Structure 1
Amino acid sequence: MGNDSTEGLVKVSVLAERSGVPAATIKHYVREGLLPEPVRTSRNMAYYDPGLVDRIQRIKELQRTRFLPLKVIKQVLDESELDNQDETVAATIARVIEQTAPAEERTKAQLLESGVVESQLSMLRRLGLVHPVEGRPEETYAGDDLEMLRVLGAARKAGLDERMLPVDILGEYAQQLARLVELELRLFREGVVPNASAEQLPSLTEAATTLSEKLVLLIEPLVRRLPDLRVALVDVSATALDLATRTLGRFPGLGVTGHQATYEDGLRRVAHGRSGDDTMMVAFLGSNIGNLDPSAARTFLGTLRSALRAGDRLVLGADLVKPEAELVLAYDDPLGVTAAFNKNLLGRLNRELGANFDLDQFAHRAVWNATASRVEMHLESLCAQTVSIPGADYRVRFAQGESIWTESSYKYETEEIAALAAAGGFTRRDQWVEPESRFAVTAFDAT
């Protein structure tokens, strides 16, 4: 090569050929800090350490098999030299995610600069939908709260001004949400809680549940009825776990443990840690089961059942089939709030994987698929276009009218809920249905 500084180094084309990863993706890894800067001999000439081939292939493998964002992969690789043992890889990844999950924060001033309106932020705080991080000198937000505020800021910048999305509408949305939460809680209190007696469930000690503002209302009647109750919280968000744990601190003597994990992994931890003949009740509410297709839902429920003992109980909330117009309106609201959340998926691809989606060239669509009993959300390309996603080593061409199917929400009939759980190893104990809103809470026994 003639230059001592480049002796033994190779061009990016050689590195791409040896690693099997395109040159554009390798350069993206450099920009994201996953690879060291190359030695540059001129503006358009750079040389790389050929020993980076292994690291590049590891990055791709973690993306392909673990679906990790690049910032997590960077810390995993920086923290330790991974070997080929799955347990070692999984343990390192879990530790890094736990360390990095709550790290990103934004102050109120930064959020206002990004498009969030101060009156809107104040309203969200009053409604209890967002909570500042405690112990910070400035008003600061993190975790899921930060993600929601980012989406709202992006919606403002995308053209949803205060006339189209006024603050009082946010209050109406929150009230409607509160009504739905109260509906599910009422079904839970009227149907499930009376059966959680010392005679019927002599050693009910743990309830694993998704986290939300309904947590205290859900737990309170059980605490009154079961003085030895212990609660295990499962969520992927460290911020949500911390908030929920502090919230439940109002109940003296209530044992609370948090598990930052997926539902399946968290439940396995809870079940493994229980003592003696303790009985466990798993509450999977909020119609989260509708986010899974029927095959995945059966697998999920089977996984839950494998962590339980005969006599344990599952309480499942599910949204029921409704008229098509009602369902489509719920997922394609006139104010465009759902559309803003849907388009944020493209924004995240731009931020995290270096993609170049033009959000203005995609339109939100909600469709009721009666045959599959699901609401489908799509992002439809408004023109013929090509999009690059360097961080995923992907390039895709869209025809005008072609869509990205981003999400589905499955709706059930009451008998279908029982059949779904039966396939996973549960027997229906009882079911409570709110006929007007068409929502069901069903109690099952593990058999």
Structure 2
Amino acid sequence: MFRIDRNLTADELDKTLRADVAEGLTSSPKSLPPKWFYDERGSVLFEEITGLPEYYPTRAERAILEHRSDEIAEAADAAALIELGSGSGVKTRLLLDAMSRHGTLERFVPVDVSGDFLASSARPVADDYPGLDVHAVVGDFEHHLGLLPVGGEGGRRLLAVLGSTIGNQEPAARALFLRDIHDTLAPGDSLLLGADLVKDPERLVAAYDDSQGVTAAFNRNVLSVIDHRLGGDLDPDDFDHVALWDPENEWIEMRLRARRRLRAHIRDLDLEVDFAEGEEMRTEISAKFRREGLSAELDRAGFDLAHWWTDPNGDFALGLATVR
């Protein structure tokens, strides 16, 4: 069975883009949210990134799921899997398979901002898992958690946030997000959280500044999204890709640095934006975690960190936290 709820229309998504770009380009320092990397080309580039030798997180997280998914399914003992932001890829199916073997799986609720993506990726799950109720939801999970169809069906729920997506938020926003997840769930439900771990800064920077320049193209692509969707004239070739390790905050920052003094026009916003030569605009943070720190954040949000699995190299972790 397959159905899809559309809580975020194309017009609403366009309004969000307009607001984010207007605010980000008029702020000091300038910034743009990383969710706007992902048009069709951005998604293709990110898939390339996940296969690069420098970019370990996807391989490490998949290795954990390949070896620990049955343990995760047993510990969660859930009838429903809710996944925020990553659709129905290989990692999702490892979880679905394990929960099916455990004998409790009844529902799958994938959540993504792209309705086209969900329609093409979640429907095959319904075909491949006979008897599974696949209820896809188009929405921005940072704002629409209260609209998820997660109540009234009975059975425990497992909500998954994979890929260290949680690291793209600053601490204050992350705290609100974890509290919102807590309030969406019920006592006994679980949160499966992917977390990239603190490690050698040289390895971290290399993962976000690969030798083939794929991450640089991915970073610059946010400018192409603005040009295409808002009538901008930002030239990606006018900006250098920058990846830096911030030891105080323990996160990677991706930035775009203007190669020359320039003035950009965003037609649909009636906006002119000046960049000084060498001026940097932040496009992403990717926080790295330590077990004790993440456990404390979860505790403040109303969760108990019950299980912690890492890949053999200790690069990445999956934490299973229960709602109290």
Instruction: Say yes or no: does 1:250 pair with 2:124.
Output: no
Q: Helix, strand or coil: the match of 2:257?
A: strand
Kindly provide the amino acid, as one letter, of the partner of residue 416 in structure 1.
G
The alpha-carbon distance between structure 1 residues 417 and 186, as it changes in their structure 2 partners (threshold 3 A), is farther
The equivalent position to 2:193 in structure 1, one of 298, 305, 316, is 316
**Structure-2 separation of matches of 1:311 and 1:227:** 15
| Distance in structure 1 (CA, Å) of the matches to 2:49 and 2:273 | 36
Q: C-alpha distance in 2, partners of 1:429/1:323? A: 27
Task: Confirm whether residue 67 of structure 1 aligns to residue 16 of structure 2.
Answer: yes
Residue identity opposite 2:69 in structure 1: R
Q: Does 1:427 align with 2:304?
A: yes
Q: Is the 8 A contact 2:49 2:215 kept in 1?
A: no
Partner of 1:335, secondary structure, is coil
Letter in 2 for 1:440: A
- Asked if structure 1 preserves the Cα contact closer than 8 Å seen for 2:57 and 2:316, the reply is no
Aligned residue number for residue 73 of structure 2: 193
2 CA distance for matches of 1:283 and 1:63?
23
**Residue 231 (structure 1) aligned with residue 108 (structure 2):** yes
Match of 1:385 in 2: 262
Partner of 1:205: 79
Residues of 2 paired with 1:248 and 1:177: CA distance?
28
Tell me, in whole angstroms, the C-alpha distance in 2 between the residues paired with 1:364 and 1:257.
39
Instruction: Decide which structure has greater strand share.
Output: 2
In 2, the alpha carbon distance for the partners of 1:443 and 1:170 equals 27
Match of 2:228 among 331, 351, 360: 351
CA, structure 1 residues 357+189, in 2 after alignment: closer, same or farther (shift >3 Å)?
same
Distance change in 2, residues 1:273/1:265 (3 Å): farther
Match of 1:412 in 2: 289
Tell me the distance in 1 between the aligned counterparts of 2:300 and 2:208.
29
Q: What is the distance in 2 between the residues matched to 1:144 and 1:387? A: 21
The equivalences for 1:254-265 within 5 A come to: 254-264=132-142
Contact 2:254 2:283 (8 Å CA) reproduced: yes
SS at match of 2:52: helix
Aligned partners of 2:79 and 2:104 also within 8 Å = no
| Structure 1 residue 178 displacement after superposition | 6.2
What is the alpha-carbon distance in structure 1 between the residues aligned to residue 92 and residue 267 of structure 2?
41
Distance 1:63 1:393 in 2: 19
In the alignment, is the contact (CA less than 8 A) between 1:234 and 1:266 conserved in 2? no
SS of the residue corresponding to residue 90 of structure 2 reads coil
Report how far residue 367 of structure 1 moved: 0.3
Partners of 1:307 and 1:63 in 2: CA distance:
23
1:250 is displaced (CA, Å) by: 1.4
Between 339-348 and 261-270, report the one with greater CA deviation.
261-270
Asked which structure has the greater RCO (Cα within 8 Å, sep 6+), the reply is: 2
TM-aligned CA distance change 1:359 to 1:325, over 3 Å: same
Larger radius of gyration: 1
Which one has the bigger helix percentage?
1
Deviation at 1:324, TM superposition (A): 0.8
1:87-110 Cα shifts (integer Å, max 9, x gaps): xxxxxxxxxxxxxxxxxxxxxxxx
Question: For residue 179 of structure 1, what is the aligned residue in structure 2?
Answer: 59
Aligned 8 A contact 1:208 1:267 in 2: no
d(CA) in 1 for partners of 2:283, 2:58:
26
Runs of at least 5 residues in structure 2 that lack an aligned partner in the other structure: 1-11, 20-37
Structure 1: unaligned runs, 5 residues or longer: 1-61, 71-142, 153-168
Query: Which letter maps to 2:81?
Result: A
Aligned amino acid, residue 268 of structure 1:
G
C-alpha distance in 2 between matches for 1:420 and 1:323: 23
| TM-score, scaled to structure 1 | 0.59
Q: Residue 369 of structure 1 is aligned with which of 225, 246, 249? A: 246
Q: Given residue 161 of structure 2, which amino acid in structure 1 is its aligned partner?
A: F
Q: CA deviation at 1:267?
A: 4.2
Task: Give the RMSD, CA atoms, in angstroms.
Answer: 2.9
Question: Aligned-pair distance for 1:415?
Answer: 0.8
